[in-house]
Amino acid sequence: MSYMDRIRACAQSQPSRYVPFIVGDAQIGRLTRDLAPRLKAFSDTFTVTDQAVTLAEKFQSYGARTAAMANVLGELKAEGLVPGWRHEAYPAGLSFTAPALFELERAAAPLFGIKGYGVHLNGYVRDGKQTRLWIGKRSMSKPTGPGKLDQIVAGGQPVGMSLKANLIKECAEEAAIPLQRAEHAVSVGTVSYTTSRHEGFRNDTLFNFDLELPPTFTPANTDGEVDDFFLWPIDKVCEMIQETDHFKFNSALVVIDFLVRHGHIEADHPDYADIVAGLHRT
């Protein structure tokens, strides 16, 4: 195994499996050819052809589109087609900065191939010349990646909240990081990927933050989403990324990005250019 194996795991998109999902004159997602025929039953909401699924033109406003999608998703949920329902509203649009066209339940975003966003925090400790990284182990009750390794703090980006405000909220919920300390988290860039997974098409951008924590700090989960925390030296983190698949698929990319930025994967590494490029796929 290698760093590139982790990157390839987030680059397994298969375009022939999907048809575009169109709202107005824009493609904002894609869904599987298996799901598309099921949507023909909602003929008042979608036009379904072999080439695309299009939201009906009569839904012109944010609210009308949101309501129409909610009705459909309620029925699909009842059929077991939207597992892991979170009761979290996600924006649906062309990009992070473009006005959202509607909102939908977070768990359904991959089902329709909607662009997703999240915040991830690398919490690290300097101990002399050594750097150690806090790693979280996800709860077995999580719908995605149960029991997998993750950042100390990570979460999806909901409707109506800034990235920094969301990060601070997640810091309190997932690791009991005080507000006064969480506010010092530094925005350090993004990773992005497109990949086919069992929940649908993932087209995600993760906004990454670094936060140096004191050696005396110990995280404590408050929302039941993290089962344990580990403070590992970088050598062990590198080993776990390269030699196992214990990290959640996208969290591995965030760790690799940290290793590159902090010089733990150096420019002379034979895969360096491919690693850096692989962290930013769209």
Which residue bears the tokens 């965030």? 254
**What pTM, to 2 d.p., does this model score?**
0.94
Q: Is 118 exposed, middle or buried (0-12, 13-18, 19+ CB in 10 A)?
A: buried
Domains of the chain: 3-10+116-278 (3.90.79.10), 15-114 (3.30.750.160)
Q: Residues 6-25, buried b or exposed e (16+ Cβ, 10 A)? A: bbebbeebeeeebbebbbee
Give phi and psi for 129, each to the nearest 5.
-90, -10
**pLDDT per residue rounded down to tens, the chain (282 residues):** 699 999 999 998 888 899 999 999 999 999 999 999 999 999 999 999 999 999 999 999 999 999 999 999 999 999 999 988 988 999 999 999 999 999 999 999 999 999 999 999 999 999 888 999 999 999 999 888 999 999 999 999 999 999 999 999 999 999 999 999 999 999 999 999 999 998 999 999 999 999 999 999 999 999 989 999 999 999 999 999 999 999 999 999 999 999 999 999 999 999 999 999 999 987
β-pairing verdict for 200-212 and 186-197: antiparallel
